[in-house]
Amino acid sequence: MDLVFGFIFMAIGLYGGFRAFVITRNPEAKKRYPKTTLKAITFFAYFIFISYALIIIVEGIKYLSQL
């Protein structure tokens, strides 16, 4: 159950980060959203991607150390 919850949790976060990244890359978004909102969305997207990358690296190191 822990593995399933982890996959669901990461999938929701990655979807949110990907959507935020796509919104910030849209040229129309500069007209729709204020500059501070776009900066916050960009920070959120990069924060999600970097934090999940660190989690994957740490879990990979833990797995490889068990071998």
pLDDT digits (tens, 9 = 90+) for 32-65: 888 888 888 888 888 888 888 888 888 889 888 9
Residue 17, classified by CB atoms within 10 Å of its CB into exposed (0-12), middle (13-18) or buried (19+), is buried
Domain of residue 28: give its range.
2-66
Is residue 1 pLDDT above 60, yes or no? no
pLDDT at 46: 87
Number of domains in the chain: 1
SS3 59: helix
pLDDT at 45: 87
